[in-house]
Amino acid sequence: MNTITRRQALLAGLGLASTSALAACGAKQPSPASTTPATWAIPTQTPLATPAGATTVTHTLTPRPVTLDLGGVLAKTWAYTDELDGNVLRGKAGDLFRVTVDNQLPTATSVHWHGIALRNASDGVPGVTQDPIAAKSAFTYEFVAPHAGTYFFHPHSGVQIDRGLYAPLVLDDPRDPGDHDAEWVLVLDDWTDGVGKSPDAIFADFKANSGPLSQGMNHDMGGMDHGSSPLGDAGDVSYPHYVVNGRIPAAPRTLTARPGDKVRLRLINAGADTIFKVGLSGHRLTITHADGFAVQPVEATAIYLAMGERIDATVTVGDGVFVLQAAPEGKTGTPARAIVKTGAGSIPPATTRIPELGGKAALGTALRAADAAKLPDKEPEQTLEVQLNGQMKPYAWGINGKKFGEDTPLSISPGQRVRMRMTNMTMMAHPMHIHGHTWSLPGSNGLRKDTVLLLPMQTIEADLQADNPGAWMLHCHNIYHAEIGMMTSLRY
In the complex, least distance from residue 151 CB atom to Cu ion, rounded to whole angstroms: 21
| Opening angle at CA 131, ends 128 and 134, nearest 5 | 145
In the complex, least distance from residue 188 CB atom to Cu ion, rounded to whole angstroms: 18
Quick one: which segment of 67-75, 239-247, 332-340, 470-478 binds Cu ion (CB under 5 A)? 470-478
Of 424-463, which residues contact Cu ion (CB under 5 A)? 430
Q: Which is nearer to Cu ion, 412 or 484 (CB)?
A: 484
In the complex, least distance from residue 7 CB atom to Cu ion, rounded to whole angstroms: 22
Residue 481 sits in the site that holds Cu ion (CB under 5 A): yes
Q: Which is nearer to Cu ion, 339 or 479 (CB)?
A: 479
The residue type found at 328 is: P
Q: Which is nearer to Cu ion, 101 or 427 (CB)?
A: 427
Residue 34: how many other CB atoms lie within 10 Å:
20
CB-count exposure of residue 446 (10 Å: 0-12, 13-18, 19+): buried
In the complex, least distance from residue 307 CB atom to Cu ion, rounded to whole angstroms: 9
Residue 403 sits in the site that holds Cu ion (CB under 5 A): no
Q: Which is nearer to Cu ion, 342 or 426 (CB)?
A: 426
In the complex, least distance from residue 478 CB atom to Cu ion, rounded to whole angstroms: 4
Q: Which is nearer to Cu ion, 448 or 481 (CB)?
A: 481
Among 408, 444, 478, 489, the residue binding Cu ion under the rule CB under 5 A is 478
The binding track of 191-230 with respect to Cu ion, each residue x by CB under 5 A or -, is ----------------------------------------
Quick one: which segment of 230-238, 272-280, 363-371, 477-485 binds Cu ion (CB under 5 A)? 477-485
Quick one: which segment of 65-73, 94-102, 156-164, 478-486 binds Cu ion (CB under 5 A)? 478-486
Chain centroid to Cα 418, Å, comes to: 21
Q: Which is nearer to Cu ion, 223 or 240 (CB)?
A: 223
Q: Which is nearer to Cu ion, 266 or 430 (CB)?
A: 430
Residue 476 sits in the site that holds Cu ion (CB under 5 A): yes
Residue 269 sits in the site that holds Cu ion (CB under 5 A): no
* All residues at 6 or more sequence positions from 474 whose CB lies less than 8 Å from its CB, including other chains: 386, 399, 410, 420, 432, 433, 434, 435, 487, 488, 489, 490
Site size toward Cu ion, by CB under 5 A = 4
Q: Which is nearer to Cu ion, 430 or 437 (CB)?
A: 430
Chain centroid to Cα 50, Å, comes to: 26
* All residues at 6 or more sequence positions from 177 whose CB lies less than 8 Å from its CB, including other chains: none
In the complex, least distance from residue 485 CB atom to Cu ion, rounded to whole angstroms: 10
In the complex, least distance from residue 452 CB atom to Cu ion, rounded to whole angstroms: 12
Q: What is the chain's length?
A: 492
Residues making contact with Cu ion (CB under 5 A):
430, 476, 478, 481
